[in-house]
Chains A and B, each alone.
Chain A
């Protein structure tokens, strides 16, 4: 046993270097980088060939090689030393420094130390607040007598480094948990938003600085071209809240897809929540939008009122909220119907976005309205809200926002569409909506939408390799005629018996004039139909 004494002549810069190892900022390097940096400095300071750190595995009562310089195999092979056995094990058990002048004759458990032909070893325990956390040792390939000064240096390094290791270790563990939580949270939120022609939507989610939470948003395609948007907030934080959020989001989405209205959908989610063993509480708002009529139906369960901005100015909807989900057995949420005017954007958000300690809620809502009043799109509304209310360092609460716009119908439609049959229903709705702006009657509108859909179906059939898998639809009014142009970049294929021919026949019969132009690079069909109320 050696008795250390701090050498008066310890180089000032070395002590400073070692001191820096306990710098809290260093711990954010993560454990691996931290240990790497530590061992490099120790090896240089002591002029040794090897330096290694073994950390205590409390449950197994073993030391596990965690980082090494000149002894990298020790870590790669995951060398484990039982407490009390061998060189490092004895240091750990007795919590004392041990010096071995000639390794060959000592009881060395670690085969790597023997294979490397290390001649002399010096090791010290790593202790934090009275708890042993590991062992650090250095070695020399030539016989060396480690003196009191060497020991003092190693002990200074150990004393300085141990808290840093513990912090880095804790940080790494926390970081891993946080990463898992964030990953889970992300996987429970929508992966993408539906792309519905004429109804742009946007959303943002930001988890709290330190923890994930239970906020969620959703955009749901509904029967007959309607669109649902939902927002919610499960009370609580952490993985549990995130997991509950995932269940509530799924439940709401499933009921909504069944075609239930907002009030009934929230009621069904509430019934579902009441049966959950965790007895969660949550607030939520759900709205259904019908692009054909501009009608919006809305209900909230204890959730903040949505905001509407647009050409008519900003307003916060006065909704009568139902009880939060899970609060009372019968917490009916009354349904409110309103019209979303052309160009207007509805914005739903969670309290994390606006609530600030000491600020009245009404003021906070006004502040939000002021920030987003100039928004001309769903995307812009989300961006303005985040830019104005979320500081760069993040917030203590998680934040979700989702927005939907009743986009103004343009004079001329110009749509770039994926060559996927699923777009056809969207195309028909967009065409009908566009035609309604010109006062076109239902029958004429139906026939035109049918013909345009047939032309688009042809374009989709053409779109096979090598052309790009997309096509274009354009609609404009020329001399009181609605003129539709469908352009693809595929090759015209001879009509299959029946089906294709029938489609062209329908187009011919529904339109006043049809021109088909086929070139080696693609096909363009131009269709005209006189506008009118009939």
Chain B
């Protein structure tokens, strides 16, 4: 059973990677590879939509940092969506990263629409 699924859509030059499920040590790096691989060179940016992620831990945080770095190397920007009520905030809060990472509350906010 896969712990998480990821769907890709493109909107106005943005690649939206919507993850559903749980992100931990077992799938974080494969998810990062999938997002990097699904992003064409001419994309403007990547939106990692974690709205439907109900578990995220340090492996998931590491995935965000690593993905942001690898996309930056390709001159791409990464936006991350985590709604305020999401359990995925637990790890960010406990790791002391709340407010120190740029997190959009909705997909619309991330897309700037």
- A binding-site residues for B, Cβ under 8 Å: 221-223, 257, 421-422, 424-425, 428, 446-447, 450-451, 453-454, 457, 460, 498-500, 502-503, 505-506, 509-510
Q: Which residues of the other chain, B, contact A422 by a CB distance below 8 angstroms?
A: 26
* Inter-chain contact B94/A510, CB cutoff 8 Å: yes
A498–B64 CA distance with the chains assembled, in angstroms? 12
Q: Which residues of the other chain, B, contact A222 by a CB distance below 8 angstroms?
A: 1
Nearest 10 pairs of A and B residues by beta carbon: A421-B26, A221-B1, A509-B94, A503-B58, A502-B58, A421-B25, A506-B94, A499-B62, A457-B25, A424-B24
- B binding-site residues for A, Cβ under 8 Å: 1, 3, 21-22, 24-26, 55, 57-59, 61-62, 65, 87, 90-91, 93-96
In the complex, what's the smallest C-beta–C-beta distance from B108 to chain A, in angstroms?
27
A505–B93 CA distance with the chains assembled, in angstroms? 11
In the complex, what's the smallest C-beta–C-beta distance from A488 to chain B, in angstroms?
14
A457–B59 CA distance with the chains assembled, in angstroms? 9
Residue on A nearest B2 in the bound complex, by CB: A223
Contact flag A499-B94 (CB < 8 Å), given A257-B1, A421-B24, A425-B3: no
* Inter-chain contact A506/B91, CB cutoff 8 Å: yes
In the complex, what's the smallest C-beta–C-beta distance from A408 to chain B, in angstroms?
24
* Inter-chain contact B95/A509, CB cutoff 8 Å: yes
In the complex, what's the smallest C-beta–C-beta distance from A235 to chain B, in angstroms?
31
Contact flag A460-B90 (CB < 8 Å), given A221-B1, A428-B55: no
Most buried by B among A422, A450, A451: A450
Contact check: which of A421, A460, A499 meets B58 at CB < 8 Å?
A: A499
Q: Which residues of the other chain, A, contact B26 by a CB distance below 8 angstroms?
A: 421-422, 424-425
Q: Which residues of the other chain, B, contact A447 by a CB distance below 8 angstroms?
A: 90, 94
A421–B87 CA distance with the chains assembled, in angstroms? 21
Q: Which residues of the other chain, B, contact A510 by a CB distance below 8 angstroms?
A: 90, 94
Residue on B nearest A222 in the bound complex, by CB: B1
Main secondary structure of the interface of B (DSSP, over half): mixed
Contact check: which of B22, B24, B57 meets A506 at CB < 8 Å?
A: B57
Residue on B nearest A226 in the bound complex, by CB: B1
Q: Which residues of the other chain, B, contact A451 by a CB distance below 8 angstroms?
A: 94
In the complex, what's the smallest C-beta–C-beta distance from A417 to chain B, in angstroms?
13
A421–B22 CA distance with the chains assembled, in angstroms? 13
Residue on B nearest A461 in the bound complex, by CB: B25
In the complex, what's the smallest C-beta–C-beta distance from B49 to chain A, in angstroms?
18
In the complex, what's the smallest C-beta–C-beta distance from A509 to chain B, in angstroms?
4
* Inter-chain contact B25/A424, CB cutoff 8 Å: yes
A36–B22 CA distance with the chains assembled, in angstroms? 65
Q: Which residues of the other chain, A, contact B90 by a CB distance below 8 angstroms?
A: 446-447, 450, 510
Write 5 A-B pairs (CB below 8 A) sorted by A numbering: A421-B24, A425-B26, A499-B58, A499-B62, A505-B96
* Inter-chain contact B3/A506, CB cutoff 8 Å: no
Residue on A nearest B29 in the bound complex, by CB: A421
* Inter-chain contact B62/A502, CB cutoff 8 Å: yes
A447–B93 CA distance with the chains assembled, in angstroms? 10
In the complex, what's the smallest C-beta–C-beta distance from A450 to chain B, in angstroms?
6
In the complex, what's the smallest C-beta–C-beta distance from A156 to chain B, in angstroms?
68
Contact check: which of A221, A421, A499, A509 meets B96 at CB < 8 Å?
A: A509
* Inter-chain contact B62/A498, CB cutoff 8 Å: yes
Contact flag A499-B59 (CB < 8 Å), given A257-B1, A424-B25, A446-B87: yes
* Inter-chain contact A460/B94, CB cutoff 8 Å: no
A498–B65 CA distance with the chains assembled, in angstroms? 10
Contact check: which of A223, A257, A460, A502 meets B95 at CB < 8 Å?
A: A502
* Inter-chain contact B24/A425, CB cutoff 8 Å: yes
Contact check: which of A221, A453, A509 meets B24 at CB < 8 Å?
A: A453
In the complex, what's the smallest C-beta–C-beta distance from A492 to chain B, in angstroms?
17
* Inter-chain contact A506/B1, CB cutoff 8 Å: no
